[in-house]
Amino acid sequence: MSVKDLTKLAIKYCEKIGVDEAEAFAQNQHIVEVVLERAEIQSERVKTQRGIGIRVIKGKKLGFAYASTLSHATIEEACRNAKSLADVSVANPDWVSLPTPAKLPKPPNGIYDEETASMGGDEVLNIAMRTYDEAKAYDKRVDIDDGKFSLSSTEVAISNSHGVEAEEKNTLLEGFLICVAKEHGEASSMAFEYDVARSMRDFSPERIGRVAAEKALASLKPRSVQSFVGKVILDSDPASEILMYPIISGVNADNVQRGRSLWAGKLGEEVASEKLTVSDDGLFPKGIGSSSFDSEGVPCQKTPVITSGKLKSLLHNTFTANKEGKKSTGNAYRDGYNMLPLISISNVIVEAGDKKLEEMVSDVDKGVVVRRFSGNVRPESGEFSGIAKQANYIEKGEVKYPLKETMISGNAFQAMKDIIEIGSETRPTFLRAYVPPIMIDKVNIISK
Amino acid sequence: MITDLLKESLKESRGYSELRYHKRDTFNVSVKDGKIDVLNSGIIEGACARTLIKGSWGFSSTTLLEKDKINQILKDSTSLAEASKPRKKRAVKLASAKPYVDKYETPMKTDPRKSGKEELVRLVIDIDKDVRGFSKKIASDTVTFNIVDDELAFLSSEGAEISQRIVRCYGNVMVIAREEGNIASAYESIGEESGLEVLKKTPLGNVGKTAAERASKLVSAKVAPGGLYHVILENRIVGLLAHEAIGHCAEADLVYSGSFLSDKIGKEVASERITLVDDGRFPGGFGTMKYDDEGVPTQRTVLIDEGVCRSFMHSRETAQHFDVSPTGNARAWNFEYDPIIRMRNTFIEASDYSLEELAEDIKEGFFLKGGLSGQADFNGEFMFGTQEAVKIENGEFTESLRGVTISGNAFEVLKNVDAIGEDFVMRTGMCGKEQVNFAGIGGPHLITKVLMGGMK
């Protein structure tokens, strides 16, 4: 049976057992994983994850249940479990309705690739080995610690009792490598590099291997600098973690409605430097978060979030949109069939600037470039602090030397206003955010 | 019976094979701002096979629990092991382990299977109400309670046959306070390997109050300063130090890759005040189980004994390599994963100082409270976040500031432990190392020196 048949079957059954509304979300995912550990293939896994999640509403009361075994009997059991949870639940007066049917756009270009979907364990192992060989061949001082490469091919289907019906398939390749460089008995800090793409054509194992090795070597022989407050160039990954994470949390309509966001009541106001333009685009071609519909079956769209520093729109699912009498922006999100839909981004796209990373460096009189951040970001209040790893000191426009035991801290919401420059080289990061390097000012650089 | 099915299949094993069955029954309730946000229950069930043949591992899993599917995963794991053999440089050998035939179940006073869920839902609703009622500054909160009920079976071609039922109950409270355009969040949790009696032992409402107090207090507070400071780490976060600073680097797979502990057995790596243990059988520990996922009995493993590095944490594979006995640290998140070396309950042992006595010696420093996430590099550089930094001036606790991430080199930070407190706490943690897993983290208050990532 197809995933769509399963969701339809569940809805039919839910209607029979007497609930007001029902929704079924089914997923069938084929995953091939290769794990490298201690520079060796540690494991190779081929697995199929199939499951269904049932959300029911009865008298504005919510119940949710899921099952990983997809037989008639287990699906019906999950429906009954969801209903019995709704029975012991308490009504939510804010509940309006599950989404009603709407015309879906065509699936975004390049989110499914037949050739990639048909790759098996051998091909994924081959990607791992290509990455490994590249890093190893780059320089003798480079050691590979671990890495993981995975290919997933996923089918999802959603049906609800109002007649919403949606199904789609996609492919995703992800891989990372962690390297360490060793010289004269000293080890560099761990250097991390990755790639993520919808198809093998857009995925470069060699680049992962080369860049991981480069980063490890670049952090050998670190030195300390005296603490100062100044300019920091955040490479895509730390820029995403430090700046995008609070933005994603700040424009989440649920957070705004609950007073958890500093941006509550600030629509139309200036919240960042006019250099910053951010949108959420669920239809972005080849996007790692792209789909024609969200986790409730609502059409995906492109939503401007911050335009030239001004807060333009929040991101909604059906519940938060109904609460304000608005239309959902198609941002219902779930991490798997065993979760209720939350609100999250599809793909966040930061509009690129003009300068390459090297050009940004040449503009800095005294500062730091950070390529890995190991720390904490408080999404609500914006405070960030952590170790600047693969961080190099910049003086008079030149990268001088790697930094030792150095931390950076600041406030992301302030930092958005203190953006000096946005780079030109955008890349996907693990938050499903496409981010170029970003230079911010007034960051605390702390050493012993 | 599923174990009979697995046993029957194992007869076809070539080389060494393990079959694991896992059924995870989960219940979650979450109340946000007075309304039920999540009320979930679900079951994930499946089996996996791992085969070692001519020094090469193969692994396969399924959610279909019929006889031919079980036979198939065993075959697949065997053929994967054989196919990948030419690409592996290292031939795996296993340390010998007695094949146990045993049953274990989490000791419980109140088995969640025998309890209605309505009462739990009410309890969480009531706690949410109390939390919001704590102060007018509280803008929003989330109170969550979870039950994870695992049924595990482990059978091997060596004759092991182990059934375990591990029940974990845990909850957390997240609070957001707002005042005059400022916002602060706080978070606290409880949890044990236990039945629902954990809610009586460590009421969720109590940590809810801690979180509510903290968020209300910090909303108008400044961020702690940056720099190297003397600090008292609260007992609720000392486990993060044990886990991040030392724990990961004492996992034999990381030792093998050259972690900073790799040449330190028998050598002094910390202040002689430090005894650091990873215990698989700590009563109620979040990482407690009687056997690991290789069928090896868990044990109390002393990693650092009065400052001297004594042992690493092992699987059967690394134990063989290091020529020691396996310690029962091979754990898998679920049937979709093969076991890797994981901590269980990692803690620093208590001594005899009261909190006030610890503070007495500090002229200028901070009492750091409330944990956030952490990470460690295998060179011993670690970090973890804190929520609150209470200023200490001449032995007195003065002003509360917003906490920051702290970092240091494990070696130095543990050498700098000047005094250890008496109040021991064991807490819950979720550790992500390729796969996530439940881990206990514990310890008493202690004094050391760390780099605080604060602001001018």
Question: Which residue of chain A is at minimal alpha-carbon distance from B49?
Answer: A45
Span B148-153, average pLDDT: 98
pLDDT at residue A45 is higher than 90 = no
Question: Which residue of chain B is at minimal alpha-carbon distance from A46?
Answer: B60
Contacts of A446 in chain B (CB under 8 A): 226-227, 451-454
Least confident interval from A48-52, A313-317, A419-423: A48-52
Q: Are the Cβ atoms of B407 and A41 closer than 8 angstroms?
A: no
The single residue listed with the structure tokens 């609950």 is: A258
Side-chain-side CA neighbours of residue A209 (13 Å): 19
CA angle B87–B89–B92, rounded 5-degree value: 105
Q: Are the Cβ atoms of B434 and A146 closer than 8 angstroms?
A: yes
pLDDT at B187: 96
Q: Are the Cβ atoms of B183 and A380 closer than 8 angstroms?
A: yes
CB-CB contact of B363 with B232 (8 Å): no
Contacts of B80 in chain A (CB under 8 A): 44, 46, 121
Instruction: Choose from A385, A443, A444 for mutation: most chain B CBs within 10 A.
Output: A385
Q: Rounded to an integer, what distance in angstroms lies between the CA atom of residue B244 and that of residue B312?
A: 15
In which region does residue A446 sit, left (phi positive, over 0), alpha (psi from -120 to 50) or beta (all else)?
A: beta
Least confident interval from A16-30, A410-424, B74-88: B74-88
pLDDT at A40: 76
pLDDT at B449: 97
The verdict on A179 touching B (C-beta cutoff 8 Å) is: no
pLDDT at residue B194 is higher than 90 = yes
- At A430, the pLDDT band (50, 70, 90 cuts) reads confident
Q: Are the Cβ atoms of B39 and A86 closer than 8 angstroms?
A: yes
Question: Which residue of chain B is at minimal alpha-carbon distance from A337?
Answer: B42
Q: Are the Cβ atoms of B223 and A121 closer than 8 angstroms?
A: no
Q: Are the Cβ atoms of B39 and A62 closer than 8 angstroms?
A: yes
Share of chain A above pLDDT 90, in %: 90
Span A320-340, average pLDDT: 96
Question: Which residue of chain A is at minimal alpha-carbon distance from B117?
Answer: A88
pLDDT in tens, B113-146: 999 899 999 999 999 999 999 999 999 999 999 9
pLDDT in tens, B312-325: 999 999 999 999 99
Q: Cα dihedral angle (A2, A7, A10, A11), rounded to 10 degrees?
A: -140
C-alpha distances out from residue B274 to A275, A316, B12, B60, Å: 51, 51, 49, 42
Structure tokens given for A159: 């049906």
Q: CA A160: distance to chain centroid? A: 27
Distance from CA of A418 to the nearest CA of B (A): 16
Q: Are the Cβ atoms of B377 and A383 closer than 8 angstroms?
A: no
pLDDT at residue A39 is higher than 80 = no
Q: Are the Cβ atoms of A38 and B256 closer than 8 angstroms?
A: yes
Contacts of A388 in chain B (CB under 8 A): none
pLDDT in tens, A116-160: 999 988 899 899 999 999 999 999 999 888 899 999 999 999 999
Distance from CA of A108 to the nearest CA of B (A): 31
Which residues, in sequence order, are CB contacts of A48 under 8 Å at separation 6+? A28, A29, A30, A31, B62, B63
CB-CB contact of A214 with A417 (8 Å): no
Q: Are the Cβ atoms of A407 and B62 closer than 8 angstroms?
A: no
Question: Which residue of chain A is at minimal alpha-carbon distance from B42?
Answer: A66
pLDDT at A63: 96
Q: Are the Cβ atoms of B379 and A63 closer than 8 angstroms?
A: no
| Of B26, B32, B456, Cβ closest to residue A229 | B456
Share of chain A above pLDDT 70, in %: 100
Q: Are the Cβ atoms of A190 and B377 closer than 8 angstroms?
A: yes
pLDDT in tens, B66-114: 999 999 999 999 998 998 888 888 899 999 999 999 999 999 999 999 9
Contacts of A81 in chain B (CB under 8 A): 41-42
pLDDT in tens, B10-64: 998 999 999 999 999 999 999 999 999 999 999 999 999 999 999 999 999 998 8
Question: Please, which residues 323-362 of chain A have a Cβ atom closer than 8 Å to chain B?
Answer: 338, 340
Q: Are the Cβ atoms of A62 and B385 closer than 8 angstroms?
A: no
Contacts of A86 in chain B (CB under 8 A): 39
The verdict on A92 touching B (C-beta cutoff 8 Å) is: yes
- At A163, the pLDDT band (50, 70, 90 cuts) reads very high
pLDDT at B174: 98
CB-CB contact of B232 with B368 (8 Å): yes
Phi and psi of A432, rounded to 5°? 60, 35
Q: Which residue, A7, A8, A9, is CA-closest to A26?
A: A7
DSSP for B293-314, please give it: TTSPBP-EEEEEETTEE---B-
Distance from CA of A42 to the nearest CA of B (A): 8
The verdict on A71 touching B (C-beta cutoff 8 Å) is: no
Q: Are the Cβ atoms of A383 and B223 closer than 8 angstroms?
A: yes
Q: Are the Cβ atoms of B453 and A378 closer than 8 angstroms?
A: no
CB-CB contact of B360 with B379 (8 Å): no
A to B CB pairs, distance under 8 Å: 222
The verdict on A53 touching B (C-beta cutoff 8 Å) is: yes
Q: Are the Cβ atoms of B183 and A262 closer than 8 angstroms?
A: yes
Contacts of B183 in chain A (CB under 8 A): 260, 262, 380-381
Structure tokens given for B101: 């035939």
Contacts of B375 in chain A (CB under 8 A): 374
Side-chain-side CA neighbours of residue A205 (13 Å): 19
Q: Which residue, A348, A359, A366, A338, is CA-closest to A279?
A: A348
pLDDT at B41: 95
pLDDT at A289: 96
pLDDT at A48: 84
ipTM: 0.94
pLDDT at B85: 86
Q: Which residue, A408, A416, A379, A410, is CA-closest to A245?
A: A379
Question: Please, which residues 189-218 of chain A have a Cβ atom closer than 8 Å to chain B?
Answer: 189-190
Q: Are the Cβ atoms of A227 and B227 closer than 8 angstroms?
A: yes
pLDDT in tens, A206-248: 999 999 999 999 999 999 999 999 999 999 999 999 999 999 9
Phi and psi of A143, rounded to 5°? -115, 145
3-state secondary structure of A388: strand
pLDDT at residue B411 is higher than 90 = no
- At A431, the pLDDT band (50, 70, 90 cuts) reads confident
Phi and psi of B114, rounded to 5°? -100, 10
Q: Are the Cβ atoms of A68 and B117 closer than 8 angstroms?
A: no
Contacts of B116 in chain A (CB under 8 A): 88
Q: Rounded to an integer, what distance in angstroms lies between the CA atom of residue A91 and that of residue B34?
A: 11
Strand B56-62, strand A348-350: pairing: unpaired
| Of A74, A89, A340, Cβ closest to residue B121 | A89
pLDDT in tens, A368-412: 999 999 999 999 999 999 999 999 999 999 999 999 999 999 999
pLDDT at A145: 81
Span B418-445, average pLDDT: 94
- At A36, the pLDDT band (50, 70, 90 cuts) reads confident
Contacts of A444 in chain B (CB under 8 A): 226, 453-456
pLDDT at A188: 85
Distance from CA of B39 to the nearest CA of A (A): 6
- At A41, the pLDDT band (50, 70, 90 cuts) reads confident
| Of B39, B59, B140, Cβ closest to residue A259 | B140
Strand B381-393, strand B396-402: pairing: antiparallel
DSSP for B136-164, please give it: TTEEEEEEEEEEEEEEEEEEETTS-EEEE
Question: Which residue of chain B is at minimal alpha-carbon distance from A94?
Answer: B35
pLDDT at B106: 98
Contacts of B228 in chain A (CB under 8 A): 448
Q: Are the Cβ atoms of B228 and A448 closer than 8 angstroms?
A: yes
Q: Which residues of B83-122 are buried (b: 16+ CB within 10 A; e: fewer)?
A: ebeeebeeebebbebeebeeeeebebeeebeeeebeebbe
